[in-house]
Every structure is written in C-alpha cells, then in structure tokens.
Amino acid sequence: MSAPTPTKPLQGDAALIRAVGAFALTAAVINIIVGGGIFRMPATLSLQMGAAAPLALLAGALAIIPVTLCFAAIGSRASATGGPYTYVGTAFGPFAGFIAGALMWIGNVASSAGVAAAFATQVANLVPSLGTPTARIALITALYAVLFALNAFGVKLGARAIAVLATVKLTPLFILVACGIWFVDWSQVSFLPGEVPSWSALGMSMVLVIFAYSGVETALIPSGEVRDPSRNVPRATLVAILLVVALYLGLQIVGQGLLGPMLAKSGVPLADTAAALWAPARVLLLITACVSMAGFVLGNLLASSRSLFALGRDGFLPSAFAKVSPRYRVPLLALVVHALLAWMLALGGSFDALALVSGGSNCLVYLLVSIAAWQAQRLDLRERGEPFLLWGGPLIPLLAVAAMVAIVTTLTSKEWHAIGVALIALVLIYGVLRMTGRKVRVGD
C-alpha cells in the first residue's frame, strides 16, 4: 500500500527531493552557460577586437576558471538551496548573504529576459511572418508558459528536459567546430597581444565574455536537490566550464576563419558560419539557437526561482515563497514570481542592454563568492562529505577577485545605475524586515 500524499504545503530544504546527480548537474551548468550569448558573441567580439577576438575568450577563461574553482570549493561545503546567497551568508552572515542573493537575482532576471527577447528575434529570422510586435509578445508569453509548466511538474522532469535540450543544442555546435576547423583561414585569427585595438576594447569585450561564460552560479542554486553535493558539485562545475571554454574558443576561431571581416557584420554569426560550410546548415543553426535559448530560460527558471525560495525560507521574503507543492515538491510561488517578472522585462527590453546588466551583477557575485570560498576553507566549514580544497591557500580566490575587480571597472554609468537602483531597493526591504523584528537566517 502506497503512502498517502501530503495534503498541505511543505517548507524548507527537507521538503525538496535530492534527485539531481552528477550528469544532470553538469548538463544543467552547460545548459545555463551555453544560452543566448554565444549566438551573438562572435560577431560582437569580432567588431570590438578584430582578428584578436580569441584573446578576449582566453582572458575570460583565465578569469572564470579561478572563479569556478571557488564555486566548486564552497559548493562542496554548503549544500543548502540558494547557491551564492547561501555560500556568502554561511561565510559572512545574513546581510552579506542577502547582498549576494540580491545581486544574483538581479542578474538572473535580466539574463532570462534578455535571452527570451533574443529567442523571439531568432524565431523571427527563422519564420519572418512571426516578426510582428504581436507575434513577438505571443512567442515570449508561450515560451514562459511552457517552461513554467515543465518546472511546475517537478525537479526530475525539469532536470531531464534540461539534459535533453543540452544534448540537442550542443551537438550541432561541436560538429560546426569539428568540421569548420579544417577550413579556417588562419590569417584572419590572431593571438598576439599587439593586435588588440585598445585596452578599453578588451575591457568591454570581457564584460560580454563573462556574461557568456556565466551560469555556474545559477545552476548551483538548487543545491538542496543535488545528490552527494561534496562530490558532484566540484566534478560538474569543472567539467562543464572546461568544455564551454573549448567550445567558445573553437566557434570564434571557425567564425573568423571562414567569414573574415564579414563576421562582425552578421546578425546571426553562427548560422552564417555554418552556411559558409554548407548552405542548408544555416537553418539548422537557427533552430539550434532557438533550442539553446529555450534551454537557457528553462534552466534559469528552475534555478533562479530557488533564490526566492531560499530568501523566503530564511525570512528575507514572506514564508509563502518557501512553501513547496505537496505532490511535485516545487516552490510554486517562487516560480510564478520569477517567471512573471522576467516575462515583463523581456517584452520591453533588448538582449544587448540586459546582458550588460546581468554581466555586471554576475561579476560582483563572483567577487563575493571567491572571498567566501577562502573564508569557508580557512574556517573549515563543512556539511556533507569531504569538501573540495583550493590549492595554494588564498592564491586562487585572490586571482578571482583581482579579475572581477578589473572587469567591473569597465562598466558604464548606465549599467552601474541599473544595478545600483535595484540593489538599493532590495536593501531597503532588508532594513524594513529587520526593523519589524523579523528573524533572518541563512541556510536553514
């Protein structure tokens, strides 16, 4: 006889199911990273950096790998749902955790909306009759409705859908690199620092590169649903970021090597690169872009809604955000709110503007997590199993912090204003909660 189904909402991490293993987590990280940015980035980098565009990707890899190591280290020590919010809060207390969580959520809402807006543009390129304003609204609305439904029916279904989408979208991209590398005109590609147009061009390119590489922080938010996190988190994050760096570098080289200066003028650079090899492949890459962007929004919704869940669990938001549906064990209110806000931003925003806001927020989150990773290792904080250790003591966190500081200094006042206004509003909410005497905690 089966156990009776609970009839009232459950709360806290104990209500969640640890159903995400190493493969599913790796797929989730890759799925989040390989979202919308890569389908526009080769053209933008070529425009800003010319033949030296691959150097921006290599510099971005040198910046993001230490950050990923810090995520792997602290993610193996703090396993509660919340990701960077939980990591920073565990190391430095509730207010620091709240700041990290607020910045992360700002970045994730902006990135979800930006990629959803780009999704509508890609579909319009594929089917011109869907390029009208009315069709755009319908496409974005349908996208969020379908992906919300996939998430609402349980983390297992969402995780499986993410794994399928990751496989579908990655296969054509790796094939494009494997086939195109044999036809590259290497005179169009340079790895010489002297070919960099200016340091300001490199700096602005790095903001875009970090946005394109970002995703680890989002994929690790549902840590309360990961099996054996001390083992699976480090393995998934490191494998995923190495695969993504290799893929992005290969796509940039193949695009420049096949299209030359025309790459900078392309609105759909990967599709045009594929067409240079075989004309029918352009349609395949446009379809791949749509699948990729849908997969990104799906993974973003799955993970980022858990940010609101964690804030509700710990007293920063109403406790209703921490309630989990009895049957499917998902935080429905958090899903609804995140999807609704991202949907509204997507209807009125553009990919380029939202990507810069998201990239800047992510750099600030990475900086905080890198410091927290060293603090957690220094204090030997641990929850489940043997944690992943950072080699060289504080060296890796210092490298990560230095890289993020260098990148955020290139943000314009427009990006700082958008991030600052949203952050100040959230800090005011935190202050009101504390003044009313509401208890806050991190990771319970």
275, 166, 274: which is closest to 215 by C-alpha? 166
Percent of the chain with pLDDT over 90: 30
Q: How many Å apart are CA 95 and CA 101, to the nearest integer?
A: 10
Q: What mean pLDDT is reported for the chain? A: 82
Tell me if 113 sits within 8 A of 298, measured CB to CB: no
The mean pLDDT value for 375-399 works out to 86
Residue listed under structure tokens 């759909």: 268
Q: Specify the DSSP element, H or E, that contains 324.
A: strand 323-324
Percent of the chain with pLDDT over 70: 84
Tell me if 60 sits within 8 A of 206, measured CB to CB: yes
Q: Is the pLDDT of residue 346 over 50?
A: yes
435, 221, 219, 422: which is closest to 311 by C-alpha? 221
In this prediction, residue 204 has a pLDDT band, given cuts at 50, 70 and 90, of: confident
Q: Which CATH superfamily is domain 20-435 in?
A: Amino acid/polyamine transporter I (1.20.1740.10)
Q: How many Å apart are CA 212 and CA 359, to the nearest integer?
A: 8
pLDDT of residue 440: 64
pLDDT digits (tens, 9 = 90+) for 357-373: 888 898 999 999 999 99
323: β partners:
11
349, 419, 358: which is closest to 116 by C-alpha? 349
Q: Lowest-pLDDT range, 30-44, 152-166, 209-223?
A: 152-166
Burial bucket for residue 3 (CB in 10 Å: 0-12, 13-18, 19+)? exposed
Is 0.85 surpassed by the pTM of this model? no
Name the token pair of 129: 């009759």
pLDDT of residue 145: 93
The mean pLDDT value for 186-203 works out to 89
The mean pLDDT value for 200-220 works out to 79
Using alpha carbons only, give the angle 51, 56, 61 rounded to the nearest 5 degrees.
140
Of the CA atoms within 13 Å of residue 443, those in its CB half-sphere come to 21
